[in-house]
Amino acid sequence: MDGRPAPGTPAVRFTEQPGPHLPPPGPNDSRQASGAVPTAPLNRLPEIPADARLTSLPVPAAPLANARFTGLPQLADVASGQQVLGPGSQGAGVLAIQSALLDMGFALHGGPDSRYGQHTTRALRNFQAHAARTFPAVRPTGTLDAATLRALDALAPAPGARGQSRALPSAFYDGQPVRVVVALREHRTFLFDPEGHLVDIFPNATGAAATPTRTGLKVVRAKLDQAAAEAAGARLWNDRHVFGVRILDLSWVDGRHSGEELHGTSAPALLGTDVSHGCIRHSNEAVLVLHDALSAGDRVAIVEHVDDPHLGVPVPVS
pLDDT digits (tens, 9 = 90+) for 7-32: 444 443 433 444 444 455 555 544 44
Indicate the pLDDT class of residue 165, thresholds 50, 70 and 90.
confident
The number of beta carbons lying within 10 Å of the beta carbon of residue 165 is 16
What confidence category does residue 58 fall into, taking pLDDT thresholds of 50, 70 and 90?
Answer: low
Q: How far apart are CA 182 and CA 125, in angstroms?
A: 17
Q: Residue 148 has what pLDDT?
A: 98
- pLDDT for 87 beyond 60: yes
pTM over 0.85: no
Euclidean distance between the first and final Cα of the chain, in Å? 94
Region 284-289 average pLDDT? 98
Residues of the chain with pLDDT > 70, as a percent, come to 79
Q: Where in the chain is the domain with CATH 2.40.440.10?
A: 172-303
Torsion angle, alpha carbons of 36, 38, 39, 45, to 10: 150
The average pLDDT across 150-166 equals 95
Architecture of the 73-155 domain: Orthogonal Bundle (1.10)
Out of 1.10.10.10, 3.40.1710.10, 2.70.98.10, 2.40.440.10, which CATH number does the structure's domain 172-303 have? 2.40.440.10
Which regions of the chain carry the CATH code 1.10.101.10? 73-155
Distance CA 171, CA 192 (A): 7
Q: Using alpha carbons, select from 124, 253, 126, 113 the residue that is nearest to residue 189.
A: 126
**Between 236 and 14, whose confidence is greater?**
236
